[in-house]
Amino acid sequence: MASSLERRSGVSLWRQIADQILHSIAAGDFAENAALPPEVALAERYGVNRHTVRSAIAALVQDGVLRAEQGRGTFVQSRKRLSYPIGARTRFSEGLQGQASERRSVLLESAVEPASRRVAEGLGLAKGSTVIRLETRGEADGQPVSRATGWFDAGRFAGIDAAMAETGSVTASLKRFGIDDYLRQSTVLSARHADAADLADLDLQPGAIVLVTVAVNVTPDGQPIQFAETRFPAERVELKISAL
Partner DNA sequence: TATAATTGTCTATATCAATAGACAAATTTT
Partner DNA sequence: AAAATTTGTCTATTGATATAGACAATTATA
Nearest distance in Å: CB 212, a copy of itself: 9
CB nearer a copy of itself, residue 170 or residue 194: 194
Question: What length does the chain have?
Answer: 244
Supply the DSSP symbol for 157: T
CB nearer DNA, residue 73 or residue 124: 73
Nearest distance in Å: CB 20, a copy of itself: 7
Of positions 1, 72, 126, 180, contacts DNA by CB under 7 A: 72
C-alpha radius of gyration, the chain, whole number = 21
Nearest distance in Å: CB 106, a copy of itself: 21
54 binds DNA (CB under 7 A): yes
CB nearer DNA, residue 70 or residue 101: 70
In the list a copy of itself, DNA, none, the entry touching 49 (Cβ below 5 to 8 angstroms by class) is DNA
In the list DNA, a copy of itself, none, the entry touching 68 (Cβ below 5 to 8 angstroms by class) is DNA
8 binds DNA (CB under 7 A): yes
Nearest to 110 by CA among 176, 166, 156: 166
CA distances from 177 to 131, 153, 209, 219, 225 (A): 15, 12, 36, 12, 11
CB nearer DNA, residue 18 or residue 216: 18
117 binds DNA (CB under 7 A): no
218 binds DNA (CB under 7 A): no
CB nearer DNA, residue 68 or residue 209: 68
Distance CA 41, CA 47 (A): 10
Nearest distance in Å: CB 234, DNA: 21
Distance CA 123, CA 125 (A): 5
Do strands 224-233 and 143-153 pair parallel, antiparallel, or not at all (unpaired)? antiparallel
Distance CA 213, CA 116 (A): 18
Q: Taking contact as CB under 7 A, which single stretch among the options 1-9, 94-102, 103-111, 130-138 is the one that binds DNA?
A: 1-9
Of positions 68, 100, 158, 183, contacts DNA by CB under 7 A: 68
DSSP 83-151: EEEESTT--HHHHTTTT-S-EEEEEEEEEEEEPPHHHHHHHT--TT-EEEEEEEEEEETTEEEEEEEEE
Distance CA 181, CA 185 (A): 13
CB nearer DNA, residue 51 or residue 193: 51
- Binding residues for DNA, rule: CB under 7 A, are 7-10, 12-15, 36, 38-40, 47-49, 51-52, 54-55, 57, 68-74
